[in-house]
């Protein structure tokens, strides 16, 4: 089932002579149960693509459909609700609130989304797998970059979203952790029937992906041959 669809997306930043064309006619579909990897170098438009896909910003032209509903036609409130209930965002930077401990980051979610979050034992297993069980009472400022990133992953998965959008989630992780995170995303797609979209320049994630896209200067192409290469 198609959960996320981008039709003919163009995105420009700036105006006049300083206008840059960041996304060029991007078409993209993500289905439940699949892990999609979008590979591209820095500055190629990955973050722009992901934030448009998640309804955080609007494309200059083209439409985004989430769960069959045009994002354009949603009210701000509906978009908030969609992000809270259906999407798990892992942003490239600043995912955690500096004055909340790891535990409190999740308590905050409980306060605004009361149902259908991970049950305690599944949650604890996830923390275990991510290797952050011991960090539960620490503040983000006391964690390393990689630990922060893993907490952010747990935070995004906590709400049991239908779609997970991750921006360079492995940037600060060593190979062992990359494999863990890759497996977590893969399991998430296959067992929880989640649509997972990961944008990255980390080739170590290729082996976990179902579909591989490449983005170059704002142009996106499906390139599943990379899996076997």
Ligand X SMILES: Nc1ncnc2c1ncn2[C@@H]1O[C@H](COP(=O)(O)OP(=O)(O)O)[C@@H](O)[C@H]1O
Residue 215: strand pairing partners: 220
Interaction between residue 22 and ligand X (CB under 6 A): yes
Q: Does residue 47 bind Mg ion (CB under 5 A)?
A: yes
SS3 188: helix
Neighbours of 177 (CB within 10 A): 17
Going edge to edge, which strands form the sheet with 211-216?
87-90, 163-167, 195-200, 35-39, 211-216, 219-222
Tokens encoding 215: 């983005």
Q: Which of 5, 46, 83, 155 is the binder for ligand X (CB under 6 A)?
A: 46
Contact segment (CB under 5 A) with Mg ion among 20-28, 45-53, 116-124, 204-212 equals 45-53
- Assess 150 for contact with ligand X (CB under 6 A): no
Q: Is 222 a residue that touches other proteins (CB under 8 A)? A: no
- The answer to whether 77 contacts other proteins (rule: CB under 8 A) is yes
Task: Verify binding: residue 83, other proteins, rule CB under 8 A.
Answer: yes
Burial of 79 (0-12, 13-18, 19+ CB in 10 A): middle
Using CB under 6 A, count the residues that bind ligand X: 12
Under the binding rule (CB under 6 A), the answer on residue 160 touching ligand X is no
Name the residue nearer to other proteins (CB basis): 123 or 139: 139
Q: Is 44 in the site for Mg ion (CB under 5 A)?
A: no
CA nearest neighbour of 52 among 18, 15, 12, 17: 12
Token pair for 124: 């604890």
Among residues 8, 27, 61, 107, the one that binds other proteins under rule CB under 8 A: 107
Residue 25 backbone zone (phi > 0: left; psi -120 to 50: alpha; other: beta)? left
Q: Does 99 bind other proteins (CB under 8 A)?
A: yes
Q: How far apart are CA 35 and CA 166, in angstroms?
A: 11
The residues of the shown chain that bind Mg ion, judged by CB under 5 A, are: 46-47, 92
The residues of the shown chain that bind ligand X, judged by CB under 6 A, are: 13-14, 20, 22, 40, 42-48
The residues of the shown chain that bind other proteins, judged by CB under 8 A, are: 42-43, 47-48, 51, 54, 56-57, 76-77, 80-85, 87, 89, 91-100, 104, 107-109, 111-112, 139, 155, 167
């Amino acid at each position: 089932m198609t959960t996320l669809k981008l039709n003919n997306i163009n995105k420009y930043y700036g105006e006049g002579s300083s206008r840059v064309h960041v996304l060029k006619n991007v078409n993209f579909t993500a289905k439940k149960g699949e892990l999609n990897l979008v590979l591209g170098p820095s500055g190629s438009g990955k973050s722009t693509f992901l934030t448009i896909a998640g309804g955080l910003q609007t494309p200059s032209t083209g439409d985004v459909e989430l769960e069959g509903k045009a994002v354009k036609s949603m009210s701000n409130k509906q978009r908030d609700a969609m992000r809270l209930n259906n999407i798990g965002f892992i942003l490239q930077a600043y995912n955690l609130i500096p004055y909340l401990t790891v535990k409190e980051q999740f308590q905050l979610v409980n306060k605004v989304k009361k149902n259908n979050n991970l049950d305690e034992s599944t949650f604890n297993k996830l923390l275990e797998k991510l290797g952050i069980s011991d960090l539960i009472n620490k503040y983000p400022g006391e964690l390393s970059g990689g630990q922060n990133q893993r907490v952010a992953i747990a935070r995004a998965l906590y709400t049991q979203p239908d779609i997970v959008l991750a921006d360079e989630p492995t940037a600060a992780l060593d190979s062992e952790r990359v494999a863990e995170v890759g497996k977590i995303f893969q399991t998430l797609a296959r067992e929880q029937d989640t649509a997972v979209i990961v944008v990255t320049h980390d080739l170590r994630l290729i082996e976990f992906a179902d579909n591989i896209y490449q983005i170059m200067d704002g142009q996106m192409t499906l390139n599943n041959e990379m899996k076997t290469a």
